[in-house]
Structures are given as structure tokens and as C-alpha cells.
Amino acid sequence: MTVIENIHAAKTHFSRLIGRVLQGDEVVIAKAGKPIVCIVPYRTRHPSGRTPGSARGQFTMAADFDGPLPATELEAWET
């Protein structure tokens, strides 16, 4: 459920709004009736579920991986 509160009401009922967010509701804060921000729960893990750097040491990269492409490869990209 989406809850829309103006800034003044949000300041007054901030704890209640946090409780709604933690229960799964979407809370939008508005200024003069126009939505400006959304309160979301804090996530400790990456949103995709991946942990950055978790594959460290599991593969190697050639020393010249960023070197110039062979002429035949460049021609294929330009056609």
C-alpha cells in the first residue's frame, strides 16, 4: 500500500511512517501535494544479492587485455 504524507505530517508522525515502511508499505513524502521523496528500508546487501568482490582470485586477466584490437576485429566492428 502506498502512503502519501505532506512534510509537516511526516515530521509529526515519522516513527509511525518508519513502522509502515518496515511492514512493506511504500511511504512517499510530498510538498504541497507533489511527491518529492520516498522512504525505503535500509539494505545491507547489494540489491541484486551479489557481493562486490566475491569473485576475487577466481580468474585471471591477460596482461594485454586492454591492448589494441587486431585489424580484422576492428574491421568487423566498423561494418
Tell me, yes or no, whether 8 lies in a domain: yes
Q: Cell 551479489, residue?
A: 50
pLDDT of residue 45: 64
pLDDT of residue 66: 92
Tell me, yes or no, whether 48 lies in a domain: no
Tell me, yes or no, whether 21 lies in a domain: yes
Domain count, the chain: 1
Question: 28 with 2: CB under 8 angstroms?
Answer: yes
Tell me, yes or no, whether 11 lies in a domain: yes
Reported confidence tier of residue 44, pLDDT bands at 50, 70, 90:
low
Tell me, yes or no, whether 38 lies in a domain: yes
Count, residues in the chain? 79
Rounded distance, CA 47 to CA 40, Å? 12
Rounded distance, CA 38 to CA 5, Å? 10
Q: Which domain holds residue 10?
A: 1-42
Could you report the per-residue pLDDT of 2-16, keeping only the tens digit for each? 999 999 999 999 999
* pTM for the model: 0.54
pLDDT of residue 46: 64
CATH number at residue 17: 3.40.1620.10
Rounded distance, CA 46 to CA 14, Å? 26
Tell me, yes or no, whether 78 lies in a domain: no
Tell me, yes or no, whether 52 lies in a domain: no
